[in-house]
Amino acid sequence: MHKKTIRDIEIKGKRVLVRVDFNVPLDPETNAISDDSRIRAVLPTIRYLVEKGSKVILCSHLGRPKGRVVEELRLAPVAKRLSELLGLPVASAGDCIGPEVEEAVSRLNEGDALLLENLRFHAEEEKNNLEFAEALSRLADVYVNDAFGAAHRAHASTAGIAQYLPAVAGFLMEKEVDFLSKALTEPAHPFAAITGGAKVSDKLGLLENIMGKVDSLLIGGGMCCTFLKAQGYSVGQSRVEEDKLDFARKLMDKAASAGVKLILPSDVIVAESFASGVPCKTVSVSEIPENYYVMDIGPSTVDEFATEIRKCKTVMWNGPMGVFEYKEFRNGTEAIARELAKLEATTILGGGSTAEAVEELGLADRMSHVSTGGGASLEFLEGKILPGVEVLQDK
């Protein structure tokens, strides 16, 4: 990584404001944290700062309160869980700016940690308001961004604040950028990319950017229906992005001319509705019934995908293979995850639903890297510059 990290600056005794991504999923009934992986991901940075004698001030958003206080989106439960994971008390503030917060920060001793209240309780955060950024900066001497999942947003706490404080990366940010950069610039070959998810339009930039870098491209999920339609197949009631059919044809032509093996499903699992418990069946892609939806890749496709990725030294995966939230249609995603877990290769997974799937399966620690950023990892892999990374000091 060509940006400075917390290793490159003096932090002992300094007030260090750390932007983290504690936008954790909450149980709708109990409001308890249902997955703490984003909290665990930043523990190395927090522990390092604590051990080096910093006064650690953490800030994050949670949910979409849209500039108003929403009681269910307060960060106190996150502070409690962070305290348990760290084995150290983490105080929680009643706000993220203002005299009372400044007073709470002034009482911190070296090695103490304080979690500020939800940044998005202030509308100025998402507007990248510089007065709000300056108010945040008054709390600290140094700014650290360890929130890769929010790095694609030019908000006050990810971009604006770097105008007021020296800005460097935390260890998670460093790890994310290093893994994703190497996948794009110096992957070990053979290199396969697996893409899924609902829509081609969500993956346009990714598909275009990786085409000249991969040896094989495997396409599953709902987005495969647009490619199948572009090949002349009928896909029943499945969603097809008609305005992306030309893109699909051109991408397939580009793959052929570049010597990239582009593999689409040969069979799929179909059902008459998007629900659990409905009858489903496996059919060839040439025999998809008119009144059915494509819900998952089929067993022959799983075998074809597995055979291809077993040859690889680098595999990048972004997007589930089917409607993973229903147990009947999760076999494709689960099979690919288990296959990747067995590989002696570099395996890099994009965030969002792909990360959730491998976490749920208990396979995340078998992957080389599981990104904590859904939109951020996708934009990075598209070749875009992330505002939250760009503003960090160069080495």
Tens of pLDDT, residue by residue over 174-186, are 999 999 999 999 9
Q: Is 263 left (phi over 0), alpha (psi -120 to 50) or beta?
A: beta
Q: Which residues are catalytic?
A: 38, 199, 352, 375
In the listed set 151, 173, 195, which residue is the last one of a domain according to the structure? 173
Assess contact for 267 and 282: CB atoms under 8 A. yes
Which domain, by its residues, includes 302?
187-381
User: Does residue 124 lie in a domain region?
Assistant: yes
Is 74 part of any domain?
Answer: yes
pLDDT at 218: 98
65 DSSP assignment: -
Amino acid at 332: G
What pLDDT, on the 0 to 100 scale, is given for residue 45? Answer: 98
Q: What does the pLDDT average to over 325-342? A: 95
Confidence (pLDDT) at 30: 85
More confident residue, 30 or 319: 319
* H-helix segments, 266-314: 299-309
Least confident of 93-97, 124-128, 226-230, 326-330: 326-330
What pLDDT, on a 0 to 100 scale, did the predictor assign at position 109? 98
Confidence of residue 26 (pLDDT cuts 50, 70, 90): confident
Whether residue 145 is found in the same domain as residue 268? no
Give the mean model confidence (pLDDT) for residues 318-343.
94
Half-sphere exposure of 254 (CA within 13 A, CB side): 15
Average pLDDT over residues 196-222: 94
Helices 43-51/76-86 angle, 10° precision: 70
The verdict on 141 and 92 lying in the same domain is yes
Residue 182, domain member (yes or no)? no
Return the bridge partners of 114, or none: 57, 91
Tell me which DSSP letter residue 289 carries: -
79 and 16: one domain?
yes
130-151 pLDDT, tens digit each: 999 999 999 999 999 999 999 9
Structure tokens at 257: 């001319």
pLDDT digits (tens, 9 = 90+) for 82-105: 999 999 999 999 999 999 999 999
Residue where a domain terminates, one of 173, 196, 229: 173
**Residue 331 belongs to a domain:** yes
pLDDT over 80 (residue 1): no
Cα separation, 252 vs 263, in Å, equals 10
What is the full DSSP assignment across 122-188?
SHHHHTT-HHHHHHHHTT-SEEEE--GGGTTS--TTTTGGGGTS-EEE-HHHHHHHHHHHHHHHSPP
Its sign, for the CA torsion 304, 308, 311, 312, is negative
What is the reported pLDDT for 385?
A: 93
Whose structure tokens read 């972004």?
318
pLDDT at 263 over 90: yes
Residue 29: which pLDDT band, with cuts at 50, 70 and 90? confident
Total domains in the chain come to 2
pLDDT, the chain, mean: 95
Q: How far apart are CA 267 and CA 257, in angstroms?
A: 25
Whether residue 270 lies inside any domain: the answer is yes
Mean pLDDT to the nearest integer, 208-226: 95
Span 49-53, average pLDDT = 98
Could you tell me which residue, 34 or 82, shows the higher pLDDT?
A: 82
Any idea of the CA torsion for 195, 201, 205, 211, to the nearest 10 degrees? 50
- Angle at alpha carbon of residue 83, lines to 81 and 85, rounded to 5°: 70
**151 and 127 in a common domain:** yes
With a cut of 90, say whether residue 212 has pLDDT above it: no
**Residue 352 above 80 pLDDT?**
no
pLDDT at 33: 92
Q: Please, which residues have CB within 8 angstroms of residue 278's CB and are 6 or more apart in sequence?
A: 271, 272, 328
In this prediction, residue 350 has a pLDDT band, given cuts at 50, 70 and 90, of confident
Per-residue pLDDT averaged across 209-234, rounded?
Answer: 96
Domain edge (last residue) among 173, 199, 231: 173
Smallest CA-to-CA distance from 265 within 317, 226, 213 is with 226
Residue 180 in any domain: the answer is no
Tell me the CATH number at 28. Answer: 3.40.50.1260
